[in-house]
Chain A
Amino acid sequence: MVKFALLHKNESVRIAPRLIAWGLALAAIALIAGGLVLDRIAAEQHVPGSGSFWLYPFLLAAVSAPAVVGAPVVARHPHNPIGWILVLGALSLAAVLAATPYAWVALYAHPGSLPGGSWAALVSSLWPAFFAWPLAVAFVFPDGRLPSPRWRPYAIFAACSVTFLVVLLVLADQLEEPFSDVPNPFPVRLPEALGFLRLPVWLAMFASLFVGAAAARVRYKRSQGVERLQLLWFAYAVGLIPLGVVFFLLWGLIFGGNGDAVVGFLLGMEAAVAIAVGVAVTRYRLYEIDRLINRTLVYTVVTVALGLLYAIVSLLAGVALGRGSTWVTGLAVLAVALAFGPLRSRAQAAVDWRFDRLRYEGIRRVRAFVDDVREGRREPEEIGAVLAAALRDPSAELLFRLPASDAYADRFGAVLVEPADDERAMTKVEHRGQEIGLLRHKRSLLVHPDLLRGVLGAASLAIEIARLRVEVRLQLAEVEESRARVVRAGYEERRRLERDLHDGAQQRLVTLGIVLRRLQRSLPREARILGPALDSAVDEIGLAIEDLRTIAAGVRPPRLDEGLAAALADLARGAPIPVELEATHQRLPEQVEAAAYFVVCEAVTNAVKHGSPSRVRVEASVAHGELRLVVADDGVGGATVAKGTGLMGLTDRVLAQGGTLRVHSPRGAGTRIEAEIPCES
């Protein structure tokens, strides 16, 4: 696969190789067609061996298959020798095959009508052309290189044996059948002394056919995944070469002479190898030609349909408006113009459906989902599951790339800095040149890059929306977390302050008071007059301590240590209006108790300050893992949660604990504040 990637770099297809390749391919087809025409002429004159009708399809297939497969491959990848081998192979085969009827016409049917009849007979003797190109392809398919450097000697051996055989045939005294009685026009003959070479070169040629098949086999065995699929057909087809040889020899031994059946078999083999290469190219997207074919099909269908439309409209309008009216042409053009857009997408869909059903269905499914998202019927985060269904891969998993960081997150916002490696493949999802996600999917999907590209392309908008939503949610969670931290730090600070007041200042005042009391009690009788002054000093200290205790209790009521109910009971006792209290005695996490206390405290304070109620009802109960607080008064109502009001701070406290708060305060009908705070107990 690496080598393909290298090939893809060279996408800038130059015109020249493409023209040359198509030129050669067409020349090959023209040659064989011409050969068939000559064969018809020879058959009219009853030249022996001519006029085998049943061979015609084989002859056409054996030449046109490599030509038609080879030319587009050259056009796409001019640096890969495979395409050239196919095109040139088709041409050489066409030359050899067409030479026979040419020689028949020139030498027997109409002697002297065509020049170079004996040269054509010589060319028709060069039967190694049957084996040369399949052998070459067998060695270098599909990347244009040998399976490994170890194969170099074998390849050289094969090339040499074919070349030598051709040289031996050219220099032979006698041409091959059916022109064994035609004198060889080539002026040079093989020296008699080298006559012994004939057999070894023949054997070497046959041996190299086996070696070629072995090379393809070895490459197939070594290949994996996509390449294995691509090589499967090819390895089978190339296996036909030695089979053909065995068949050829057996036929010679049993029936003597090379019957037409052998020629037919060999021609079939040629076509089979070329078709195998074609299968590898198109069916498994070896050179991404399927896309080309797809487009070609679509445009052919569209063109034909538009042509028909033009004709029908012209005809109908002609009948209605009279022939030659400019209106007719105008109407027909208008109809064609209007039909083009929808027709093109219809044709594309039809071709996709017919030739690439998986991709078609996948894209359709994703598009339907995107429509649902637009209509608000589904959440964009479900795109991961939709992709898995569209790709028919339950193991597929979509990760969103977070815009603010380099991390990935799943749909629930769980962040992965580096996705763990597993046996699944990973494909980046891009939207307007930006990476927006990562799809992990089964490896076999790599065989269908078009499917992946198409489905992900259709899904990219949904993925973009989903990842932005995931990011926003993550950031919101972070803000909530930091607010909770700030509030928590606030409670800690309150606790510290309360301790400082009780254990520091208050203790000093008590100590001072004790000193004064001892002084007072040790006064001599004559100084007792100081007693009342000291009494009032100690009273003053007592008041200072009371003040301190009030302040400390406001900072953090010490009875919170005994639970929410105890603290709320103190609160109710100290309130300036009657407070009905119904509080759970269940102990809750410290933060929750503190938050709940201050929420009730602020709500009651607020009620007393703004609502002028006659009484307040406070409820605190635990159900379904939540602490539910209700503070209801019978005051004037009309309270709002706006900036700067006491209710705003209250909301902050509740939200910081991940809770919710509702205020129901119709004018003139009291205020009811309900809060729910999650508590894990």
Chain B
Amino acid sequence: MRIVIAEDTVLLREGLAGLLEDAGHEVVARVGDAQALLAVVAEHEPDLAVVDVRMPPEYSDEGMRAAAEIRRGHPGTAVLVLSQHVETRHALELVSAGGGFGYLLKHRVLDVDDFLDAARRVAEGGSALDPEVVATLVSPPAHEDTLGELTPREQEVLALMAEGRTNAAIAKRLWLTERTVETHVRSILGKLGLPISGDDHRRVLAVLTYLRASAV
């Protein structure tokens, strides 16, 4: 994969680049602010941009805004936004707008395999949503009525679905067979009244749209 990295802390940026290069990806550009990011994306048309949320000059949500712009202007470039803390509003909008977008807390990087998996998934048009963001969506107070009908296991599966994981990944994570996961998924979608689809990404979108509509 050809990747650009936008991160204003130099050491962290080099660490991220090294991590991705170690995994065999090609880091074609490393920049420190959103302006430069848009320029290198236009220049290289990479497969993936890994973007820090807070960057100069305001250190507020420059990365998120650049991500939205990239998704709009360069559909071929997926974006994985890394953030120091949870911010759901824009992340959810971008994730449910279609595939090719991911939002993770920065320290998830330390779980290297998971991080690389999320990067690959996003670059392939899938999505990745941080478990903490998902938690804000499926927390009991927001959905006592509908989500309360799900079994605890189904709730676990739902959360992993919302994070953007495939059935196979869910099965691996929960130590289940893929068939069992499929059964759970069908049951969840049935209980929530969502269409059953074989496409993992489309399924994620449906789940997210449902959760967003009924949550914050």
Chain A interface residues (CB < 8 Å from chain B) = 499, 502-503, 506-511, 513-515, 517-518, 521-522, 538, 541-542, 545, 549, 552-553, 558-559, 561-562, 565-566, 569-570, 572-573, 579-581, 585
Q: Give 22 pairs: A residue, B residue, CB < 8 Å, sorted on A.
A: A502-B85, A507-B9, A510-B12, A511-B9, A514-B12, A514-B15, A515-B15, A517-B109, A538-B110, A542-B107, A545-B107, A552-B85, A558-B85, A559-B88, A562-B87, A565-B216, A566-B88, A566-B89, A569-B141, A572-B139, A572-B141, A573-B139
Q: State the Cβ distance, A634 to closest chain B Cβ, in Å.
A: 17
Q: State the Cβ distance, B13 to closest chain A Cβ, in Å.
A: 9
Chain B residues 136 to 158 lying within 8 A of chain A, measured CB to CB, are 136, 139, 141-142
Q: State the Cβ distance, A597 to closest chain B Cβ, in Å.
A: 15
Neighbouring B residues of A570 by C-beta, 8 Å: 86, 136
Q: State the Cβ distance, A37 to closest chain B Cβ, in Å.
A: 112
Neighbouring B residues of A565 by C-beta, 8 Å: 216
> B interface, by DSSP: helix, strand, loop or mixed?
helix
> Once the chains bind, are B106 and A510 in contact (CB under 8 Å)?
yes
> Once the chains bind, are B107 and A573 in contact (CB under 8 Å)?
no
Neighbouring B residues of A553 by C-beta, 8 Å: 85
Bound CA span A142–B139, Å: 95
> Once the chains bind, are B85 and A522 in contact (CB under 8 Å)?
no
> Once the chains bind, are A566 and B85 in contact (CB under 8 Å)?
no
Q: State the Cβ distance, A454 to closest chain B Cβ, in Å.
A: 68
> Once the chains bind, are B135 and A573 in contact (CB under 8 Å)?
yes
> Once the chains bind, are A561 and B106 in contact (CB under 8 Å)?
no
Nearest 6 A/B pairs, CB to CB = A514-B15, A502-B84, A558-B85, A513-B110, A511-B12, A511-B11
Neighbouring A residues of B9 by C-beta, 8 Å: 507, 511
Q: State the Cβ distance, A624 to closest chain B Cβ, in Å.
A: 25
B43 touches A (CB below 8 Å): no
Chain B residues 83 to 110 lying within 8 A of chain A, measured CB to CB, are 84-89, 106-107, 109-110
Chain B residues 180 to 210 lying within 8 A of chain A, measured CB to CB, are none
Extra contacts besides A507-B12, A566-B89 (18): CB < 8 Å: A499-B59, A507-B9, A507-B84, A508-B11, A510-B106, A511-B11, A511-B15, A515-B15, A517-B109, A518-B22, A522-B22, A541-B110, A552-B85, A553-B85, A558-B86, A558-B87, A566-B216, A573-B141
Neighbouring B residues of A509 by C-beta, 8 Å: 107
Neighbouring B residues of A549 by C-beta, 8 Å: 85
Which B-chain residue is minimally distant from A579 (CB atoms)? B141
> Which listed residue (B19, B84, B88, B112) contacts A562, Cβ 8 A?
B88
Q: State the Cβ distance, B95 to closest chain A Cβ, in Å.
A: 16
Chain B interface residues (CB < 8 Å from chain A) = 9, 11-12, 15-16, 18-19, 22, 54, 59, 84-89, 106-107, 109-110, 112, 135-136, 139, 141-142, 216
Contacts A518-B15, A566-B88 hold; do A506 and B106 have CB atoms under 8 A apart? yes
Bound CA span A120–B112, Å: 141
Neighbouring A residues of B139 by C-beta, 8 Å: 569, 572-573
Q: State the Cβ distance, B81 to closest chain A Cβ, in Å.
A: 15
Q: State the Cβ distance, A418 to closest chain B Cβ, in Å.
A: 44
Q: Taking each of B89, B106, B142, which has the highest tally of chain A beta carbons within 10 Å of its own beta carbon?
A: B106
> Once the chains bind, are A503 and B59 in contact (CB under 8 Å)?
yes
> Once the chains bind, are B109 and A503 in contact (CB under 8 Å)?
no
Contacts A521-B22, A565-B216, A573-B141 hold; do A513 and B107 have CB atoms under 8 A apart? yes
> Once the chains bind, are B59 and A514 in contact (CB under 8 Å)?
no
Bound CA span A513–B136, Å: 26
Bound CA span A580–B142, Å: 10
Q: State the Cβ distance, A681 to closest chain B Cβ, in Å.
A: 19
> Once the chains bind, are A517 and B87 in contact (CB under 8 Å)?
no
Neighbouring A residues of B18 by C-beta, 8 Å: 514, 518
Q: State the Cβ distance, B215 to closest chain A Cβ, in Å.
A: 9
> Once the chains bind, are B12 and A573 in contact (CB under 8 Å)?
no
Q: State the Cβ distance, A600 to closest chain B Cβ, in Å.
A: 14
> Which listed residue (A503, A541, A572) contacts B54, Cβ 8 A?
A503
Neighbouring B residues of A522 by C-beta, 8 Å: 22
Bound CA span A518–B142, Å: 40
Bound CA span A502–B84, Å: 6
Bound CA span A518–B16, Å: 9
Neighbouring B residues of A552 by C-beta, 8 Å: 85
Neighbouring B residues of A562 by C-beta, 8 Å: 87-89, 216
> Once the chains bind, are B19 and A514 in contact (CB under 8 Å)?
yes
Q: State the Cβ distance, A539 to closest chain B Cβ, in Å.
A: 9
